[in-house]
Amino acid sequence: MNELNVLNGANGASMVAPMAAPINVNDCLLQLYEEHYELEDYQKGVPRWCTGCGDNAILTAVQRLCRDEKLAPEKTVFVSGIGCSSRLPHYMNTYGFHSLHGRALPIAEGVRLARPDLKVFVNMGDGDCCSIGAAHWIHAIRYNMNMTAMLHDNNIYGLTKKQASPTSPIGLKTNTTPRGSYLEALNPLTVTLGVSNVSFVAQVVDWIPKLLYQTLSAAYHHKGFSFVRIIQRCPEWLPTHMDEYLHDPQRVLLLHHENGLEIDSELAKRYTKMEEHDPSDLNRAREIASGSDPIPVGILYRNENVPLYEEVRADTRLRTTSLVKNGLEAEFDKFTIWPEGHARATA
Amino acid sequence: MIAAGEVGTVKNGKAARKNAGVQAAGGVLARKVTRLSEHIVEIISDSGEGAQKCGQSFGAIVAQMGLGVWTTEIIPAEIRPPARSVAGASGNRIRIGSKHISNGGNETDLVIAFNEQVLLGRVRANELKPGCTILLESMWRDDRRIATTYADAVDQLLAAGFKVVEIPMDKECRKIVSDPRKGKNMFVLGILCGLYSLDLQTARDQVVLTFGKKSAKVIESNIALLDAGYAWADANLDFKYEVPATKSTEPQIVVNGNTALALGVLASGMEICAMYPITPATSTSHYLSDAFQEVGGVVHQAEDEIAACAFAIGASYAGKCTVTVTSGPGYSLKQEAIGLAVMGEIPLVVINVQRGGPSTGQPTKTEQGDLMTAIFGSHGDAPKVVIAPGTIEECFYSVITARKIAETFNMVVVILSDANLASSQQPFKRPMFDEAWLAPPIDQSAIPAGAKPYDWDPKTGLARRFIPGQPGGMHTLTGLAHDENSHVAYDAEINQRAMRARSLKLATLQKTLKPPTVFGDRTGDLLVIGWGSTKGAIEEAVEGLRQEGKKVSSTHLTFIQPMPPGIKEILAGFKKVITIENNWSDSPVDEMIDESNRRYSALAMLLRSRYLVDVDCWSECRGTPLKPNTVRRVILEAIA
Ligand SMILES: Cc1ncc(C[n+]2csc(CCOP(=O)(O)OP(=O)(O)O)c2C)c(N)n1
Ligand code: SF4
């Protein structure tokens, strides 16, 4: 209010030329004030992940994204399941929902259907999403609600201390597979790309911050359910597991396209293994997705034309008291017996 | 309670067979008209033959005429069991009376059956009154493959003392339609209307309503069938019943419990219902799916019950109190999520339309087996509110109450209905919309600086709810133990404080409840306590016995968690207290049972532990609604 007076001049006279349409200075100021955010506006507490944990990189990228997209913290919700990765909402100064092991997606769907005005993000671990939450994951793809789901995939159960996860590669020694994992790893990308209604699938690794940011940003801007698998290090339980990929740029395949990610020159110098991939090409996306070495990184698939559940299902009418009253009375009437001569409640 | 009057000149035995269907010479029958204060009639067929529709229409006509009525569906376990099978009985049971009817009543007085096999199913289930009148389709007598079985069955029925009247339904219907399988039910409806001296025009109007969306031709032929049945009964049956009606002066509404729940959801202002199909709860969501189209709202059919409950929690967290509807097995799956809502203090309404358990149990049969799960279910100490409607009308209002409590106390409210209420129909006073029923709009005002998301009031345990979108209210809700700021905290002190707050809310709610009413005197020899759908049967039995001078009263609990105040005082007025329930309890006379190992029925267990009173119990798990006669017998034994 004070600033307003200053801007308007002591006598409140408009500073705009008399012929122009009057500008509501009040609104401009509010807008300016509300839409400018600093990184610390999104930061909360000190993350308690192990040193070097890939979750830190994901958190940083997400905070930057919120700042750059000017997401109002009160209109942003991070929903997570249970696991190390699912602690992420606690470190965001937005609304958060740290829920149940495997159930982040249906909770996020409820939030989304109730409140299309909120921005919804989902953080899940590989056990969380691909094991206990597998049914919800597949159906979240089908529903195609507008939200960004991040799969923090460290190939291991972190929080429960090193058990095999569905994405653990064959031979991986864990507490439940001391002589090596014996099942073929589940590939979250091919699964996602196999579900009808799939609308956005990307993969990225935690150790290339710029790409991580770019990928999450593309996912955020996608209209529909965007699924990003982030290959993530867990130095606590698998300290050397990803080293070969980390140290050898040739073990990463950068996907780029004018409709996908643009690779800046600095990255291009280091990651020379590249493929120009059009994200609208589902068949090629599936082929790329099935490869794991080199790790394909970038947008595999994008289709903006899949109908959104919340739009297909939503009622666009304003739900007013009189609408409910009329609807309800009409419903009552369907089952009502009126005594002779009794006037009906509704005409 | 008055039993069915004797039917005068029912044609019996061989004579009946010969005369049935034969137009009486001269057209005028010496007819015996019996005046009754109430009667129970059953219409049963193979599934798909329309006995359900016939029964429902009959119930509606009877209600229009101003009679008290309670209809109960007879549902086989399979969707289409083999035709003409004992297990395949499908239909409707309608109890009509001059006065208000509060339950399905005792055994059936008159049954109209489309074949003798489905009828035998009802005889074996002991659902027919001894000497009950049976109107039976006679076409099977002419079917070479079936004739012998049929004749044998009829002889058996006659030998058992039933009065059998054979009716050539198929033959009569063929005079009007080419496929009697599709029209027999309306012909039978006509017979019933004739038999009970109902107004034919009211019946015709009902048929129009029943087939409302069908073509004019379909409606016409069904009305013709109705008229034909009416005329046939008039010309051929030498008996008739009259149940005098006392017309209601108030508008009444006739729905089953599931529809009443759905109407309650609409009326409470909830606009999202998350569910996964399960019998007998699902029809609630069927009805809502359609009705929501008019008032704005969504039924979300989730991938499973876990997701449905989580979805409801997400929506409630975001500011719109949401309902999730299920039955026993689905309720088990929701337990983990219900615990999350308790811990996060998210308002949530969970409807459990109980069915016979455990496991998949008896999907279409009734039981009150989930009371303990509702109260104690979910791991750890998870206090939640449990309410049990006792009538169809209460089904409606319980949802409105539940939503209000859920949002005021930020609690989970479980509504325990059951298969008995779900599919029974009973008229009740038509509700008139009240704005106060609706949920308030979502609060998006800024949170004052310094306010905490779990600022538990030390006296009540209540805290204001922070809803996403409120500036300054950012926090992360968690199912982990947390402090007032919603920060994960495992401190001894904090955990104790948070547990206290969550539990205290129940006591706070309890202080707002009224003591339960006593049906009958406040002192006497015996007090019967019930909960949920057994209300009508218990009160009817108690009323009858009181008229005979027995010092018996009853009370019915709608709030089971928390229990209302004043119960101890009520218990103190009686020499003996017994709960009567539709769940399991050991019989004290069983050889292996003694005081140290007897398992009590659910409510008895709760009352015994809370009030230190020797509450006895009687219960059964037959899958059928409790009969007033059964309650009567139990009471007489208890006071003997
Ligand atoms: C119903 C249920 N089952 C099991 C657990 C125990 N649990 C907690 S986290 C977790 C798995 C963690 O692994 P992941 O999802 O890969 O996440 P990370 O910790 O690696 O980020 C399990 C099994 C639980 N909390 N709830
Ligand atoms: S255990 Fe692994 S995943 Fe969990 S915080 Fe430590 S490094 Fe990260």
Percent share of chain A, pLDDT over 90: 83
Q: What is the pLDDT of residue A135?
A: 98
pLDDT of residue B7 exceeding 50: no
Kindly state the tokens that stand for B37: 């204060």
Closest A-chain CA to B473: A74
Kindly state the tokens that stand for B327: 């039955």
- What residues contact residue B575 under an 8 Å CB cut-off, 6+ apart? B524, B525, B526
Q: Which one of B433, B434, B465 would you mutate to disrupt binding with A, by most A Cβ within 10 Å of its Cβ?
A: B433
pLDDT of residue A17 exceeding 60: no
Q: Which residue CA neighbors atom 2 of ligand 2 most closely?
A: A234
Please say whether the beta carbons of B114 and B53 come within 8 A.
Answer: no
pLDDT of residue A5 exceeding 90: no
Q: What is the pLDDT of residue B511?
A: 97
Sort out which chain A residues have CB atoms less than 8 A from B251's CB and list them: 336-339, 342, 345
Minimal CA separation from B255 to chain A, in Å: 7
Kindly state the tokens that stand for B384: 């939640």
pLDDT of residue B620 exceeding 50: yes
Q: Is the CB of A166 under 6 A from ligand 1?
A: no
Q: Which of A82, A124, A234 to probe ligand 2 with, by most ligand atoms within 8 A of CB?
A: A234
Give the residue with greater pLDDT, B335 vs B212. B335
CA–centroid distance, residue A237 to ligand 2 (Å): 7
Kindly state the tokens that stand for B92: 């409707």
- The DSSP code for B482 is B
Pick the atom of ligand 1 nearest to B336's CA: 1
Q: Tell me the pLDDT of chain B averaged across its residues.
A: 93
Q: How far is CA B451 from the centre of its chain?
A: 45
Contact B313 A90 (CB under 8 A): no
CA–centroid distance, residue A165 to ligand 1 (Å): 10
Give the residue with greater pLDDT, B20 vs B568. B568
Sort out which chain A residues have CB atoms less than 8 A from B336's CB and list them: 100, 103
Q: Which residue CA neighbors atom 26 of ligand 1 most closely?
A: A101
CA–centroid distance, residue A159 to ligand 2 (Å): 7
The amino acid present at A229, given as its one-letter code, is R
Confidence of residue B76 (pLDDT cuts 50, 70, 90): confident
Q: Which one of A332, A333, A340 would you mutate to disrupt binding with B, by most B Cβ within 10 Å of its Cβ?
A: A332
- What residues contact residue B345 under an 8 Å CB cut-off, 6+ apart? B410, B411, B454, B463, B465, B502
Contact B475 A98 (CB under 8 A): no
Please say whether the beta carbons of B540 and B630 come within 8 A.
Answer: no
Neighbours of B163 (CB within 10 A): 19
* Mean pLDDT calculated for residue range B310-336: 98
Q: Tell me the pLDDT of chain A averaged across its residues.
A: 90
Sort out which chain B residues have CB atoms less than 8 A from A82's CB and list them: 479
Q: What is the pLDDT of residue B31?
A: 84
Rounded CA Rg of chain B: 27
A/B interface, count of CB pairs below 8 Å: 212
Closest A-chain CA to B294: A327
- What does the angle CA A14 – CA A17 – CA A22 come to, to the nearest 5 degrees? 60
CA distance A204 to B408: 45
Pick the atom of ligand 2 nearest to A154's CA: 3
A324 touches chain B (CB under 8 A): yes
Q: Which residue CA neighbors atom 6 of ligand 1 most closely?
A: A160
pLDDT of residue B322 exceeding 80: yes
Give me the interface pTM, i.e. the ipTM.
0.91
Query: B434, exposed or middle or buried, with CB in 10 Å at 0-12, 13-18, 19+?
Result: exposed
Provide the β-strand partners of residue B579: B529, B617
Contact A98 B478 (CB under 8 A): yes
CA distance B52 to B43: 8
CA distance B394 to B558: 9
Helix H or strand E encompassing B390? none
pLDDT of residue A150 exceeding 90: yes
- The DSSP code for A89 is G
Kindly state the tokens that stand for B526: 């015996």
Q: Which one of B295, B397, B437 would you mutate to disrupt binding with A, by most A Cβ within 10 Å of its Cβ?
A: B295
Neighbours of B473 (CB within 10 A): 23
DSSP labels for B39-95? EEEEEEESTTSSHHHHHHHHHHHHHHTT-EEEEEEE--SSSSPPSS-GGG-EEEEEE
CA distance B253 to B63: 9
Minimal CA separation from A11 to chain B, in Å: 31
Give the pLDDT confidence of A183-205 residue by residue, as tens digits: 999 999 999 999 999 999 999 99
Confidence of residue A28 (pLDDT cuts 50, 70, 90): low
Pick the atom of ligand 2 nearest to A83's CA: 4
Give the pLDDT confidence of B417-437 residue by residue, as tens digits: 999 999 999 999 999 999 999
Q: Which of A48, A55, A152 to probe ligand 2 with, by most ligand atoms within 8 A of CB?
A: A55
Percent share of chain B, pLDDT over 90: 87
pLDDT of residue A345 exceeding 70: no
Confidence of residue A4 (pLDDT cuts 50, 70, 90): very low
Q: What is the pLDDT of residue B13?
A: 38
Q: What is the pLDDT of residue B635?
A: 98
**B252, B274, B292 ranked by CB distance to A337: nearest:** B252
Give the pLDDT confidence of B82-102 residue by residue, as tens digits: 888 888 889 999 999 999 999
Contact A139 B248 (CB under 8 A): no
Kindly state the tokens that stand for B511: 């202080």
Give the pLDDT confidence of B275-284 residue by residue, as tens digits: 999 999 999 9
CA distance B94 to B72: 6
Confidence of residue A2 (pLDDT cuts 50, 70, 90): very low
Kindly state the tokens that stand for A45: 């507490």
Minimal CA separation from B507 to chain A, in Å: 27
* Mean pLDDT calculated for residue range A90-106: 98
Give the pLDDT confidence of A299-310 residue by residue, as tens digits: 999 999 999 999
Pick from B368, B163, B403: which is nearest to B264 by CA? B403
A336 touches chain B (CB under 8 A): yes
pLDDT of residue B291 exceeding 60: yes
Confidence of residue B1 (pLDDT cuts 50, 70, 90): very low
Give the pLDDT confidence of B36-70 residue by residue, as tens digits: 999 999 999 998 888 999 999 999 999 999 999 99
* Span between the terminal Cα atoms of chain B, in Å: 21
Ligand nearest to the CA of B333: 1
pLDDT of residue B6 exceeding 60: no
Confidence of residue A34 (pLDDT cuts 50, 70, 90): low
